[in-house]
Chain A
Amino acid sequence: MREPSSAPPPGANPYIPVPFRVSGRRRETADTVTLRLRSPTGDSLPFKPGQFMMLYVFGVGEVPISVSGRPRRADILEHTVRAVGPVTRRLAALRRGDWVGVRGPFGQGWPLALAEGFDVLLVAGGLGLAPLRSALLQILAQRDRYRRVTVLYGARSPADLLYRLDLTRWQQRPDLELRVTVDRADERWRGQIGVVPALIAQVERQFEPTRTVALVCGPEVMMRFTVRELQKRGVPDDLIYLSLERNMKCALGLCGHCQFGPAFICKDGPVMPFSRLAPFSEIREL
């Protein structure tokens, strides 16, 4: 008879949330904050950029939120949360020292190993910058592994721009091309106004289409138009990766809430190549 095993490591049972404490909170915009979570016991949940965690507000509910920080220390998690419903409103209102239950990480992340030796084009719309920030921080930490790196970011207005300090730092880097645009602004804004897919034409000389991995995250309409712009320039479908958002509940591919054709976004995604999504992308009900 086998000896009874010791307690499983944190995160080993995907149904059981691991308690984390809010160790920092940064307001990004009027309705969006970035929470820094830390395990008081040093428990770690190693993740890859593009994966997500299920964040549980005790007594309220659980929501899927992408990691937005760099996976350098797995006992510290960063999540950017927009307050739009009962759970996210409570998450966004958490203060330093409050508790959060964390399950995860779940899903497939960005193909950063595949992108090594390639030009990398990151295209973000709105809160879609959060999971791409995690990827970008990782890329910048290993910058010599990648060719040209370009970031295109679109937001609703100047007041809705996330990660302002990061944007300033990224703007100053000679090894990174960053273009930012907003949908609307007043006359005080001195930057670009327009939609993010239109930025691709501006940087088309800065990537070699067949040697480019494109990482795209944002509202689905924005991603659809972005894919078309990339396809027009010859970026192959299997090098265009999208992060999809669906109604994820169990996060384990069991409940079926996030089914997209034959795939479960929580398990097979959220990051998937467009070549895999293309057969289903024209089915409007999916």
Chain B
Amino acid sequence: MLRTTDPNRIIKLELEDIIMNTAYIVAAYRTAGCRAGKGKFSGMRPDDLAAAAIAGLVERTGIDPVLVEDVILGCAFPEAEQGWDVARVAAMRAGLPVTVPGMTVNRLCSSGLQAIALAAERVQAGLADCIIAGGTESMTYVPLGGNKVTPNPHLVNTWPESFMGMGMTAEVVAEKYGITREEMDIFAADSHQKAAAAIAAGRFVDEIIPVEVELAKLTGSKLKKTKEMVSIDDGVRGETTAASLGTLRPVFKLNGTVTAGNTSQMTDGAAAVLVASEAFVKKLGKDPAARFVAFAVRGVAPEVMGIGPIEAIPAALARAGLKQGDIGLIELNEAFAAQSLAIVKELRLNHEIINVNGGGIALGHPLGCTGAKLTATLLSEMGKRGTKYGMVSMCIGLGMGAAGIFERI
């Protein structure tokens, strides 16, 4: 057995030698991402939205739903309409057999990726063959912070940075890593332009499950109810330029640099991913989209939560036994332009392979759904480009970062 000084590597090799099975991502789909409060999903409950994604996944993969052993959904603020174990509610609402259980996981903005990792780990451990993972978040129904924001009193008194506002953490990161307002606005405008081009080219069509929504409008005393299929991300503004973003005022810090324009959008969305064992995939008779390679999550100081991926990305690469150069495509969640740029700068990531179809600033960041949503986007684009290795990574509130690596089969 090969031994190195890297503890990650030792464990990996040992696990592989002894028990590790392969976990496959059979397919990954997402709903469109729509603006919280203003967009097409603002009347759509997050449990219904997740059910639509799950039902779409089952239909498109053609699996027998009775074989699904668990539904694991990420959700960052699992309360109210997305409370009550939203994964089980969504499974029931999607029409899965009563025997299929559900579990909601929460690691804030990485919840969707964490759900996939949990599913994959069970398959790798040989404890399951078929799990639906994913995420759902309605920022319309449950805003960032939840309906009742009451942080821990002891921490507030003794360590108030724990609950520093997200925007303010981006200001701290911008200052620490020397990211300018101009760089942020250019990055943000670029996100919108790439996303608009991708939509125009139909780049997202394969990964999006259209969802029927009900619209009700009162004109005078006449209420009109209509139905509409929603399949397009509705927060993208292709006409945005760095100059137009330059006119916005900073909102989190007096004379700061972080504006609503260089921050991710608040969004409603859901995603569903089928994670399966080799045996299951063989029986299904379909080529899986990817192999789950590795996942890592790390903690950092909460006031610089945006740099979480700086710790998580190398950790995931180490677990995968890969080098940064092996990764051909990255979905790096754009919580803020400031933190995205700091990560790119610090890790010297290849700008060309990051968020090639735009990111959270244009397409939105539905918190607990994001990790699964970005996985769907990553795998779809990897398929189109023939990329071998791809990565999804994001920063996480309270000071964390996560990264997951996938290999196209």
Partners in one complex: no
Q: A residues touching B (Cβ–Cβ < 8 Å)?
A: none
